[in-house]
Structure 1
Amino acid sequence: MRYAISGASRGIGLEFVRQLLARGDTVEAGARVPSEARQLASLAREAGGRLRIHTLDVTDPNSVRAFATTLSGSPIDVLINNAGIGGKWNAFAEVDFEDMARVMETNAIGPMRLSSALIPNVLKGGTRKIIHLTTRMASLADNTPVGVYGFAGGAYAYRMSKAALNAGMRTMAVDFHEQGLITAVLNPGWVQTDLGGKIAPTRAEESVQGMLRVIDELTLANSGRFLDYQGKEVPW
């Protein structure tokens, strides 16, 4: 199968590439600065043509159009919207609204922009899946003083951007149901990445292994869901 992945140069995105190649899939990998993506380049040298690296900045319409043009006419079985940023986690009185706009552009608008550009490719694919990586911190029900990670409150830009992404996914699930599009938002868990930090309890390998299992098992009947990397339902 052919996958397209944004933010593929490090962390969860890089681990997706690594595991997909290991199981024999083909990957179109997007990175903001490919010349700095050394680990990705190393995987490409060993992949026998099954990994192509592209310049892709989901906040730049021209970059997204160029990526889509490169893939023009090529079926994509699964698009994984992985690119995202954390932004500043300031208290409400100290919210940096310019930073908030940047986070919203990257985490909410960017995945919709890329999905829009590649949906013709996805609808030509065999599985017709678009997956967006989100966070449990986008859950309204869980944002309480006893939230599961102890992260209740704060992180306004990050929470709001991912909640907006969730709403966009849910709307896509409705609008493209008749065309057979399967879409979902997946919470990878608190993962040991640059964003998650070294104290995070989940290794990237474990998270991605679980998410691939969930992606493989998704059907049109359960499109539009908010799931974690173990396949468990996350409260909206």
Structure 2
Amino acid sequence: MSAKILLIEDDDILGASISDLLHLENYHIDWITNGQKGLEAAQKGIHDLVILDVMLPAKNGFQVLTELRESSSVPVLILSAKSTAEDKIKGLKLRADDYLAKPFHLEELLLRIATILRRSKSQTHEIQNIKIGASLINFNQRSIESDGNESIQLTEKEADLLRLLISNAGKILSRDEILDRVWGANNHPTPRTVDNFILKLRKHIEEDPQNPKHLISQHGVGYGINL
């Protein structure tokens, strides 16, 4: 599925150029021109990458990144008219994933985006085996093995859903975010689809599916996992 990118850039001409280019490359783009509103959008946790300008109204890019890193590890690519080593070091110390000085070629921007997303995807998919309660999840085999029981085969979507929850252990993900990340924005399952998948996975993993300890829910919000 196509990556979802949040662009926080107040320059109308540059923002439009980047947005149009990424649309042509089949990325899903949300473009915001205000630092505070951009932070609020980034904190929703629905994006695969944030492209963040430094000089922004309401809250500058370094402030946005500082607050974002309190709750999120989403990859961040900083764009800045400041090309000094000090500013680049500051951004990287705040745990930006990359720093691109203006002016830049759009082709270079595309290459850096692809590199960051590829690295992020690799880190997400490095989970191979993990124990949840009495169940061993084997992502290479797409199977669940429980003590004294036969191995259960997972569908691709079941494995993707489990991988997403495990990668965000301790967090509650909304149904919409799960749908977007597992099924993709171009598909049209309903939130009930997520509920049904969770119910099925609970039967495989939980000792008592009616009182789950691992695949948990927060009423009106979504689902998470306790490892």
Radius of gyration: which is bigger?
Answer: 2
User: Normalization by structure 2: what TM-score?
Assistant: 0.41
User: Normalization by structure 1: what TM-score?
Assistant: 0.40
Q: Choose between structure 1 and 2: higher helix proportion.
A: 1
Q: Larger relative CO (CA 8 A, sep 6+): 1 or 2?
A: 1
Q: Choose between structure 1 and 2: higher strand proportion.
A: 2
